[in-house]
Structure 1
Amino acid sequence: MFHCVNCDVSMCKKTQTLHAKSKASKNHTTVSLISHEMYQINQTGNKCPSHTEEDLLMYCNTCVYPICRQCIVSGVHLNHPMVRVEEVIDMKQQQLSNIIRQKKTISSKYVDVLKTITRNKLQLSESTTKTIKEVKAKKNQLKIKLDKIESEYIQQLEDQDKKNKEAMEKLEQKIKEEMSYLNELIQQCESKQKERTIEIVQLVTDVMQRVDKYTPNEQPDEISPPNLVTRDVADQELKDLFGHLDMKTKPEVDQSLQMKIYDPSTIPDIDFKIISSFTSEKNHVVIESYGQAWLWSIFERGISLVTSDGKVMQNINTNLDVFDATVSTSGDLFVTENGGNTVKKITRDNRITHIYKTRDGYVTKGITVTDTGNVLVILFKNKGSKIVEITTSGQHIKTIQHDPIDNKQLFDQPRFVCVNLNGDIIVTDNGKVVAVNK
């Protein structure tokens, strides 16, 4: 059974469905009869909704709502088990306390898990950077060894080539000398060939001895040129020589703490609508808390804290020419100025302090708060723009400027920065959007 609060009429399920579809009553509030009783109780305080002069004394466990003395006397709740309202309230308060305690315990576990995840992400990032350096160092070590082998082989080849050439030049010189002697003998013999004297006998004897002496008896050795004997090396052999990566599996979260991940295709379309609207001369905004935001304009000085309906809660009338702003979890406002080189902190009591100042011609641009509570600031320069991470008191933590692998510049002309739910840094940069993994 159901009850229409606007019409004050009870109805069955079928009638309630038709009532909700009717153009005249589609915006009416329809509740179950039990909810209607509780609605009336909320409207009348501790008085009975049926007997407005009577206090609620008992709680009917059968009907599941509180009743007064007249309800009991009427006989409607005859033979229904009842308890005193105070006892029900005490029991429900105890149950509520137990629920709160249980939920706080679960919440604390989530906090511990988030702390562990944050710590693990930091350790993983540091470990990955360290391992990348080790990989590069190993490559350099192997390159040095390969360079040494190359030098040794080249030196051996050059030394052997020198020895071979010296031996061949020596043999060449010897052969030329012997040929010269032979030519002299031939000329001497030709000059005496027509003479018929006793001298010819001795000459022929001497020439025969000298010819035998200078006749080459063997040929030079065949040339054996040097050759590099190699074999193909499989990729796996190179990897085994280089070393292997010990990759851990992804961290798992306790099953009792895992949140359900929805398939986007199963999520119904959402009809968005404007829930509040107001006009303002200020055109920049940063969320301060739920329902409140800081507004400022590049055309006028001063910052205003407003509600979602435009009500001004606080004005900070300063000479700050604000370029960008962000709010920490503690509610402090951090701002950068147009063409400025400092980061200013504005506390809730409007105290303004300088917590960070750039050097070397850098100008502060976009600013945001990280998931760990630190502050990211863009430091802009025509060449060499970067992002620095600082604490809320201005202490420098790290600089984000170059790719750790190839040392390339990450940013060109960055303007604004934010951090997504994964902790990745998102930057608007000269007509493009750059995402830097945390």
Structure 2
Amino acid sequence: MHPRRSAQEVLLCDLCETVPLQSHCELCNINLCVNCAGKHVSDSSKRHKVVPFLHRKSTPNYPKCPKHADKQCEMYCEKCDIPVCITCITSGKHKGHDISDVLEKLSAKAESLQKDLEELESRIYPRYEEMASDVQTEKSELETKYGKLTTAADQQGEALHREVTAIVNQRKSDIQEMKNKHLSTLNKNTEEITQKMAELKQIISDLKSILKSNDVSLTSTYKSRNGEFRQLPPKVRVTLPSLSPQKINTEKLREMFGSLSPLSINTEHGDTMKSAEAVSSPPVKPMKSAEAVSSPPVKPLLDEPRITDTIDTGYRHRLYSVSCLSEDQVWTCGDNETMNLLNLQSKLLTSIKTKSGDTPTDIAVTRDGDLVYTDSNNINLIKNKQIQTVITLQGWRPLNVCNTSSDDLLVTMISDDREQSKVVRYSGSTEKQSIQFDDQGRPLYSSGGLYKYLSENRNLDICVADWSVSAVVVVNQSGKLRFRYTGHPSNTEQSFDPRGITTDSQSHILTADYNNHRIHILDQDGQFLRYIHCDLDTPWGLCVDIRDNLFVAERFTAKVKKIQYL
């Protein structure tokens, strides 16, 4: 309870704080008893207006003027957007400014505040409560939903275990059967040898008896069988069977187990609620429609892409690759053994030569900002300007390289005999995945050509620009073919000539059409969206920075052009 109020809620005078109030001064906005009211009006410095308490008006609490301490701000300067007192106005500082009554301003503001309060309380806050409840419900269902996934994985594992156990038992049964046949053959051979040995013992005994007896008759009738026994019984040779276990293909095993689709987390722009004035009835929660799910991209394509910067890399004849270190620094490699880091003003910041002295085939920047490059049979990492060979291939030559969202490396490579091509995923120096054939065992990539630029899309698809067959080949993260893009279907006069390839935050796929001097933009499903021309000359290597600016390396001009297209 308020300290100045009794149990019966008697309101007291604001000055003496002991006697019940009877009056109210509208100028000073205080409550007064009879005695205090007389003393209050005796102050002639102000024009007090004392009225009975029940007849009081709702008097605003005028702000004190910060420049004139004894004055209240009863007016409002519209231009300066501040309350002012009479002295401020007469001083000339607000000359020519629109001045309004502060009470009118207060009334308008109060009305606006009241509307805001009503909208916050009745419409906006309930929607936030509803969203929070939806998220809480989704969280409460996580255990059940992910539990079903875990159960399905366990069931599939048990099924595979049963199949493996059945195969093992069959092999063990085959081994036992072979063992029994082997033993039976050896027993038969033993019996034959034992029988011959018994005959030999009997002959030896008979010969000893004849020689001891000196019997002419027995000696004359003896027939030698030594020739017969000189031919030894056949010796059985049995070659033990051997088990030749096949090397376990982990990727095939994972494929047999079944794939797990990636967790897709998309943060969509929240709906904008209509203002209270635009709504004549209480809001109804909209249904989620197919149209809402497939909302337009956050960053639409520009009608007219434009070049914002041009970098002269300084390579004499050819420029092949560009990779973004930041929004204003790019690594490049071209027709010699050096890899150069430049800024947008074409200033050379760092230059590093390959360890082998060979020309690098391709470059890529890791998530840590280190540089990876391929040359000869090696995949190399440059960290703090120190070069380390992390992978040396045998029988294969690395071509192009990209860094993934999980900080793995994807590398296209061709066999030394140039008969095979594949994409290999590395975690550090460990091979994690090899992608070479489709479900029918046919090669996914051509064996020809020494350029197969690649990029990982936001949906984890692996996109390869297979120049020698004029196609962009896209597989999912498990290596299954999703689609091939061979150029805009309406273009029958100019052959598609893909070289560099990159992807952006909208899952667009961008590839350089070298001989046609343009960039193709595709959506994540391979549908053609638009060309980028921008006066390009032999575009080759591509990359995008974190703000989706496109960097294009022109092969023969040796320039990198930065293009805004979103």
Relative to the length of structure 1, the TM-score reads: 0.41
User: Which has a greater percent of helix?
Assistant: 1
Relative to the length of structure 2, the TM-score reads: 0.33
Q: Which has the higher contact order (CA 8 A, sep 6+)?
A: 2
